[in-house]
Amino acid sequence: MEQRKNKTFMPFFLNSLKAKSNWILLSTVIIFVTTLLIPYILKADGVDAYFFMGIGIFEAFVMVFVNCLIDNSFFHSDSKLAYYKSKPVSLKEQVVVNIITEIIFAGLLLALIVLLTSFQIKDYKIFRVFNFIIPWILVVIFLSALSSILAGNTLAAGIMTVFNFALPGIVYLIIVFIFSIVEDFVAGFSIDVLENYFLNNVYKLEYIYFTEYLNKPLGYIYFLILGIILTVITLLIFKILKKRKNENTGNFIVFDGYKYFVSLLGSLIIPAFFTVSNYSRNIISEIIAALMVASLTYYVLIAVVEKSFKISRLSIKIFAVSMVLFMAATGGTVAFASRYKDVVPDVEDVKYAFVGSNGREFDFVNKYIEESGNSNLSYNDIIKLKDVYGVILFTEKENIRNIIDLHKEMLKNSSYNNENYRYDNLDITYFMDDGGYIIREYKTDCDGADAENGKKDELALKILNSNELKRIKYNYLYDEEYCKNNYNIEISVGYDFNEDIASDITIEELRPFLIKDINKEYMNTDKAFFALGGNFDQPYKGFNEPSPYLAITIRDKEDPKAYYTVQTLYFNEGYENTKEYLKSSLPELK
């Protein structure tokens, strides 16, 4: 009997492929019209051509997805299932044939899209989009087969395919939900910082979904990940196919275990969205609301999949145990984070330190180090980090010591009376000599009497007035030799946000006046702590009257087109020496 089945496999496969001829013809016509004929009539090029290519890819996805559901729909009808079981090939072989047929079908459609769009698109780098489109289609083909076995009807199979495809993202959302709770319980631990660390170092979601390879050449890791994912899904297909309860055909979900799995995850997704998007940060209220929403969501999902409003005791027990485990995992994470809440490094162990409210300084510095291949940043590297990413790294021990002292003040009392200025947090990041790092983010908004400003302002004022800060932030003023060797600097003057006033003023002329004014401004900074979070600028004072301003364009001499930055200085208050010089040189400047 087995030998007879093996002999019938190839004819069965060829017949299945032949049955796709009408779909291939229909899909070819649709893709031809939308990706070549319509763009040709509209004379689409550039961005428009990319749009029509995207339409073609979407159409291919839909065609393949629909075909997958149709080909595996025999699992959802008792009569069809009996008919297919009577065929001289096993159910496993039929699933394999369907998968192979869909892969060939998808391959033909994608090849057709590439061929037709190449007539309009000349920048062939755009075709790198297929680096993740191809894995997505392959995974959808395999997942649709798995979901069809798990589900009892075709509509549920389609929903389950989308759910299973989104599963890594759903897990990530639930983990972020836990991070939001950690943020509320443990001062200094930010959901943004935890999320960025988790994504960059632990949970490589961009690799799981292959979006990392949109602008990155393929390597063995790409094929290894794809192979592992498809292998795992294939093993699940074969295992679940053996245990499928065909008597449950017609239900939304055939397997009880998977039914509870979906319902439990669903019961966490809704409160996760609710909590992460809620900015009240009242932790007790959030936990109570999250539990209520989770219970309600679980009840609704179980009622839908069981087609009954009466919830079984088993369902209640599973939910209760799962919530206990979830809260235990969350509590364990909070306890683990609390161990490091008061950690402050020794000055001698810190290589670089950052203080401010950039929010992504760690990612930017790591990206720069990864691209340059050197973790020992030079002065030129630190200047480029400032110009490109707005990140100022301190290396002098005196400034690092002041940042550490400020960190200790934040541990005592993180509040700061901002007097209605918009300022939400303070980031402190240490890059250690041993390659490690410490990242903290503190919420600082407070309009009440509990805020403690004095010591924070005192330490911040020391940082603001340090020569290192001025040499980095205003390197075109405080490091004349560096600018002569590395940068071309252009000066333009404006007034009241009108067009620039023509002038031939140079940075050499303005340097002594700007240095004198900046030294005075920083020395007299009011609310210096607040200025730390404003990219080390003076706090916003309001533009009540028209004010002159300088736009300073700094271009890299080595690559003036690719690398430049613009700094704008507004002189609404202060900067008296610079304003007087500008008015004397430019009479049209009021």
* Residue 515 domain-assigned (yes or no): yes
Residue 223: the pLDDT is 92
Same domain, 93 and 231: yes
Note down pLDDT in tens along the chain; length 590 residues.
444 445 666 776 777 777 788 888 888 899 888 888 887 787 766 666 778 888 888 999 999 999 999 888 888 776 777 766 667 777 788 888 889 989 999 999 999 888 888 777 777 777 888 888 999 999 999 999 999 888 878 888 898 999 999 989 888 888 888 887 787 777 777 777 777 777 777 888 888 888 888 878 888 889 999 999 999 999 999 988 888 776 666 677 777 778 888 888 888 887 777 666 655 556 676 677 777 888 888 888 888 777 777 777 888 888 888 888 888 888 888 888 888 788 888 989 999 998 887 667 777 888 888 777 777 888 888 888 887 788 889 999 999 999 999 888 888 877 777 665 555 678 888 988 888 888 888 877 655 545 667 788 888 888 988 889 888 888 888 887 777 776 777 787 877 655 667 667 788 888 888 888 888 878 777 777 877 766 555 544 444 556 677 778 777 767 656 556 677 777 766 778 888 887 777 666 65
pLDDT at 138: 94
Assess whether 558 and 432 both reside in one domain.
no
- In a domain? residue 9: yes
Q: Are residues 74 and 46 in the same domain?
A: yes
0.85 exceeded by pTM: no
CA distances to 240, 246, 258, 270, 286 from 255, in Å: 9, 10, 5, 23, 33
Number of C-beta neighbours around residue 98 at 10 A? 22
Same domain assignment for residues 396 and 480: no
Closest CA to 196 of 181, 206, 187, 208: 206
The phi and psi torsions of 428 (rounded to 5 degrees) equal -130, 125
Domain that holds residue 569: 475-585
Round to whole Å and give the CA distance between 113 and 137: 14
Number of domains the chain is built from = 4
E strand residue ranges, 444-534 = 445-446, 487-495
- Residue 132's SS3 state is helix
Question: What is the C-alpha to C-alpha distance for residues 348 and 360, in angstroms, rounded to an integer?
Answer: 25
Say yes or no: 274 and 310 in one domain.
yes
Q: Which of 193, 218, 252 is the last residue of a domain?
A: 252
Instruction: Kindly state whether residue 67 falls inside one of the protein's structural domains.
Output: yes
Note the pLDDT of residue 539: 46
Q: For residue 275, with 0-12 CB atoms within 10 Å meaning exposed, 13-18 middle and 19 or more buried, which class applies?
A: buried
With beta carbons less than 8 A apart as the criterion, state whether 249 and 170 touch.
no
Q: Is residue 554 part of a domain?
A: yes
For 200, which DSSP code?
Answer: I
- Together in a domain, 149 and 48: yes
The domain boundary residue, chosen from 413, 430, 465:
465
Among 444, 465, 486, the domain-final residue is: 465
Show contacts of 374-382: CB within 8 Å, 24+ apart.
375/435, 377/352, 379/482, 380/486, 382/472
260 lies in the same domain as 309: yes
Give the type of residue at 440: R
Check whether residue 336 and residue 361 sit in a common domain: no
* Domain contains 393: yes
| Residues 298 and 281 placed together within one structural domain of the fold | yes
Radius of gyration of the chain from Cα atoms?
A: 31
287 shares its domain with 238: no
Q: Are residues 355 and 293 in the same domain?
A: no
What SS3 state is found at 166?
coil
Residue 259 placed within a domain: yes
Angle at 511 between CA 510 and CA 515, to 5 degrees: 120
In a domain? residue 171: no
Task: Give the sheet arrangement for strand 548-556, strand by strand.
Answer: 487-495, 548-556, 564-570
Claim to verify: residue 567 and residue 527 sit in the same structural domain? yes
Taking the chain, what is the end-to-end CA distance rounded to the nearest angstrom? 99
Note whether residue 362 is domain-resident. yes
Burial zone of 18 (CB within 10 Å; 0-12 exposed, 13-18 middle, 19+ buried): exposed
